[in-house]
Structure 1
Amino acid sequence: MKNNILIIDDDADLSFVITDMLEGYGYNVTSAESADEAFGLLSSRHFDLILLDINLPDSTGFEICKELRRVSDVPVIFASARTSESDRITGFDIGGDDYLPKPYSMAELFSRIKALLRRAYGDSDEKAPIVFGNVKVDISARSVTKNGVPVGLSLKEFDLLACLCGHMGTAVSKESLLSEVWGTFSDVEPSTLAVHIRWLREKLEDEPASPKYIKTVYKVGYILEVSE
């Protein structure tokens, strides 16, 4: 069963990016830009996790969390540009389960969401390892093997590979990859992405110069293509 996630944030562009990323990993995502809209959704639908901004046009995330905790123990991740110690303490004191400061990378957000869902509901959301050719990728364990031998990847290399796995068989734009792996507000250049793709090919492809799996899609981005 897919997990239902509610994003409460008045930044529609950011919510769109997060929604696109999470739906690519199989989640059902709904977004609200105000407290009033959020309460309307919460009164009529079930959600397994809420990603909650603090600054909203008609209220605050703190007030929403307080009201929620009167009737529900749904997991809540505060995601906010307000990063002071007092705000973090308040977020936890009123019932928040996690606090993620903006800006953040999509990879870190996804990791936090998976961890919180796992703590709240058990391991039912864990996915089976992904296998292509002689490569096995275990997203949950953050491990990769080739011919049964562990492959050492940097954090960003693994996050990039996990992102491609999440969109397996679909071309992912360079902009989406940069946003999901390095963060929506990152100023990382596309050349950095190209370098990390080259490193992944060198570690995972039998013939890096003629990749069989991690392919370039002209004028778009990259795709993890598995035709076997």
Structure 2
Amino acid sequence: MSVDILVVEDEPGLSRMLATTLSAQGYTVTTAMRADEALARVAVDDPALILLDLGLPDRDGLSLLPQLKARCQAQVIIVSARAQESEKIAALDAGAEDYLTKPFSVAELLARLRVAKRRRQEAEPVSQRYRVGELEIDLEQRLVVLAGEAVKLTPKEFQLLAILAQSGGRVVTHAQLLQAIWGRHHSDDTHYLRIYLRQLRQKLERDPGEPRYLLTEPGVGYRLAAE
């Protein structure tokens, strides 16, 4: 059996609300209230997406995350009351695709689900082209076009933009970007990212102070906008 969404949430009222809301939107939904139950459900249901609370009664959701990722191909969105930047970074570094802080609106949740669904669809096969608004990125040809005009980027600028494009709208943490571009010994050199993001925004944004494409998740990382 394959379902659209597995909701891993130990608060009964919220779990019921999520299941009812998502079912009304046409998703097939199953629920779990404990980590051991979530692992069992993954084996049976093979969900396309998992909404994962971190505060589970039998273990911390963060420690559960790698096991879930190892057992299925689901996109994982953390749904948690923990709003600290360190918690978000840890979850994203551990493999979560997104992080939604409680309380949240149904509209925001549904928007995140649409992005996750689109990202999953685009992953097979991996797209070599990315387009949003007037920005086009061709990874195979190493070509960036803005409003019909080719934009010249340095190798490092293109590498940074390519990583964000391949993440399909998902936040990429500072550490992930630094290790991918400069190596593991530079995981704390966030000033590198600030410099290159500023240069990219000067080349790609109509108003670098109010970016449309290259978005910041404060204290966590960056993402490329997804339509």
TM-score (norm: length of structure 1): 0.51
For structure 1, the 5+ residue unaligned runs are 124-228
Q: Which residue of structure 2 aligns with residue 208 of structure 1?
A: none
Q: Which residue of structure 1 aligns with residue 43 of structure 2?
A: 43
1:99 aligns with 2:99: yes
SS in 2 for 1:7: strand
Q: Is 2:46–2:72's contact at 8 Å kept on the other side of the alignment?
A: no
Q: Which residue of structure 1 aligns with residue 217 of structure 2?
A: none
Q: Distance in 2 between matches of 1:108 and 1:38?
A: 24
SS in 1 for 2:82: coil
Q: CA deviation at 1:18?
A: 1.1
Q: Which residue of structure 2 aligns with residue 126 of structure 1?
A: none
Cα 1:31/1:3, change in 2 over 3 Å: closer
Q: Which residue of structure 2 aligns with residue 80 of structure 1?
A: 80
Q: Distance in 2 between matches of 1:93 and 1:72?
A: 18
SS in 2 for 1:96: coil
Give the alignment's Cα RMSD to 1 decimal: 1.7
Q: Deviations over 1:163-195 (max 9, x none)?
A: xxxxxxxxxxxxxxxxxxxxxxxxxxxxxxxxx
Q: Which residue of structure 1 aligns with residue 188 of structure 2?
A: none
Q: Distance in 2 between matches of 1:45 and 1:30?
A: 8
Q: Which residue of structure 2 aligns with residue 133 of structure 1?
A: none
Q: Deviations over 1:21-40 (max 9, x none)?
A: 11111100111000011111
Q: Which residue of structure 2 aligns with residue 165 of structure 1?
A: none
Q: Distance in 2 between matches of 1:93 and 1:52?
A: 15
Q: Distance in 2 between matches of 1:11 and 1:89?
A: 24
Q: How does 1:11-22 map to 2 (within 5 A)?
A: 11-22=11-22
Q: CA deviation at 1:69?
A: 2.6
Q: Is 2:3–2:30's contact at 8 Å kept on the other side of the alignment?
A: no
Q: Which residue of structure 2 aligns with residue 52 of structure 1?
A: 52
For structure 2, the 5+ residue unaligned runs are 124-227
Q: Distance in 2 between matches of 1:120 and 1:85?
A: 26
Q: CA deviation at 1:115?
A: 0.9
Q: CA deviation at 1:45?
A: 1.9
Q: Distance in 2 between matches of 1:31 and 1:72?
A: 16
Q: Distance in 1 between matches of 2:69 and 2:48?
A: 14
Identity in percent:
39
Q: Which residue of structure 2 aligns with residue 64 of structure 1?
A: 64
- Give the total of aligned pairs: 122
1:61 partner letter? G
Q: Distance in 1 between matches of 2:30 and 2:115?
A: 20
Q: CA deviation at 1:104?
A: 0.3
Q: Which residue of structure 1 aligns with residue 10 of structure 2?
A: 10
Q: Deviations over 1:131-168 (max 9, x none)?
A: xxxxxxxxxxxxxxxxxxxxxxxxxxxxxxxxxxxxxx
Q: Distance in 2 between matches of 1:24 and 1:69?
A: 27
Q: CA deviation at 1:70?
A: 2.7
